[in-house]
Amino acid sequence: MPPRLTSFADDARIAFDNLADRASGLVNPTVRLGVTGLSRSGKTVFISSLVHNLLHGGRLPLFEPVQSGRVSAVRLEPQPDDAVPRFQYEDHIRALVKDRIWPDSTRAISELRITLDYQSASGWNRLFSPGRLSIDIVDYPGEWLLDLPLLGKDYRTFSEETLALAETGVRSELSRPWLALTRATDIHAGADEMIARDLATAFADYLKACKADERSLSTLPPGRLLLPGDLDGSPALTFAPLALPPDGRPGRGSLWTMMERRYEAYKSVVVKPFFREHFARLDRQIVLVDALQAMNRGPEAVQDLERALTDVLACFRPGTNSLLSSLLGRRIDRVLVAATKADHLHHESHDRLDALTRRLVDRAIDRIGMAGAGIDVMALASVRATREATVKRDGHELPVIVGTPMEGETIAGERFDGERKTAIFPGDLPEDPESLFDRIASGETGLQLPDVNVVRFRPPHLEETGGGIKLSVPHIRLDRAMQFLFGDRLA
């Protein structure tokens, strides 16, 4: 069982918020959908494409309410939470469709409400339901989700685990400056603000180095050290792990107790409010992952992504939402783990990306249990930036993908200008991910993962209709994701 994340006082406040949500839902039925992801997985692109396809009649054959013609109108409406920034859909879709650039990544929480008018498939339901559903999309950084396990750990446990992990693999190289400073620090000495700041800065630099594209590691709490926002420089963010010496806990007024106090403040000031005010009110959740990037970075990045997903999914409180549970303690009853950038592979490899992602979350699913919870895994592309083709080489036909590489992208020594298209062979994923993970876990020396070409392509050029309206954003399996996440609420 995962550790308890909240106190009884927190539970009471969560119950009150859920009661208010339930009362509002009687008048305006609503589903709160959490969208998060790990390290450039495409959260902003996913939300923008989902909303654009709903608003503009996108091709959604697997989203039954639209396919059957039961959805009569779709519109954006003011969000219910006035204290939460609005997800700037219009700016992001302009970047995608008009400028053909990828929008900026998520750096803070935001929210957007989209409302669908529909006719229920059940004649009985049509008598009692207003035929309207609002979807409140809550977008938040994956780093914040990785902070939730800290609620069940004291400072000593957090320090021991973080320091031990920093000594492994490539982290041992990246953590060297921070660990050297930590080892030279007398934790029995009196609390010193300058020493605390130097340690926190070195620790944050280590986390940033782990997250950088060339490493693409995923297990990086505390997340606000990477995205400090308006808390930058506050005592709640000016801390770092310290090892407890064999001679026991340092006394009051020491550097160690100062760091311990700030760690607890971080949980109280940063993590608990996010859990209570946002995460605990979610009904459905999608977690986006860039499994292809991890594969490209090697066995250690794959292992780290698996560890991060285990920590992430253990935070969810899976179960079926009855009226009572919704009032007292809402349960996320559907969780989707989606591997993005399926358009970087030929469709023949999509099932392999599905299988690889499912294997990444197997341990987490076993840990949280499946009772009453709907958990699914799929490969998708929120925006399809490529098309498929075949080329002949040495008398054989090879499947390739065709797209426009981003300006500055280099392929086989050739630098692209952002305008010219090219065809690449995307590579192959393993047919049997289980054997691959066994080899990774064994620590096999010199293990080479399958080579997958992860090229940064520009968003596609969209044709206009006769009325000058851009066609909807192309995608892969976005409709299947919609059906899983909220199709049942439109039945």
Q: Quick one: average pLDDT of 280-298?
A: 91
| Alpha-carbon span 170 to 323, nearest angstrom | 48
Residue 97 CB contacts under 8 Å (≥ 6 apart), including other chains: 52, 459, 462, 470, 473
pLDDT digits (tens, 9 = 90+) for 169-200: 999 999 999 999 999 999 999 999 999 999 99
SS3 322: coil
Reduce the DSSP state of residue 103 to 3 states and report it: coil
Amino acid at residue number 118 = Y
Confidence of residue 104 (pLDDT cuts 50, 70, 90): confident
Distances (CA, A) of 281 to 222, 309, 475, 481: 22, 21, 29, 21
Mean pLDDT score, 134-149: 92
User: Mind listing the pLDDT tens digit for each residue in 254-280?
Assistant: 999 999 999 999 999 999 999 989 998
Query: In this predicted structure, what is the pLDDT of residue 343?
Result: 95
For residue 385, pLDDT over 60 is answered with: yes
- Mean pLDDT is lowest, of 307-316, 363-372, 427-436, for 363-372
* Cα dihedral: 145, 146, 150, 152 (round 10): 70
pLDDT of residue 466: 60
Examine the pLDDT at 10 and tell me if it is beyond 60: no
Cα 357-380-333 angle, rounded to 5 deg: 70
Torsion of CA 126, 127, 128, 130, to 10 degrees: 50
From 193-197, 312-316, 344-348, 366-370, the region with the lowest mean pLDDT = 366-370
Inform me whether the pLDDT recorded for 40 exceeds 80.
no
Percent of the chain scored above 90 by pLDDT? 56
Domains delineated in the chain: 8-140+278-384+476-490 (3.40.50.300), 148-272 (no CATH)
Omega before 222 within 30 of 0, i.e. cis: yes
pTM greater than 0.85 (yes/no): yes
Q: What pLDDT is stored for residue 323 in this prediction?
A: 37
Helix (H) or strand (E) holding 189: none
User: pLDDT averaged over the chain?
Assistant: 86
CA atoms within 13 A on the CB side of 78: 4
Q: What is the spatial distance between Cα 173 and Cα 235, in angstroms, rounded to a whole number? A: 28
Cα–Cα nearest to 328, from 1, 21, 3: 21
Q: What angle do CA 315, 318, 324 make, to 5 degrees?
A: 120
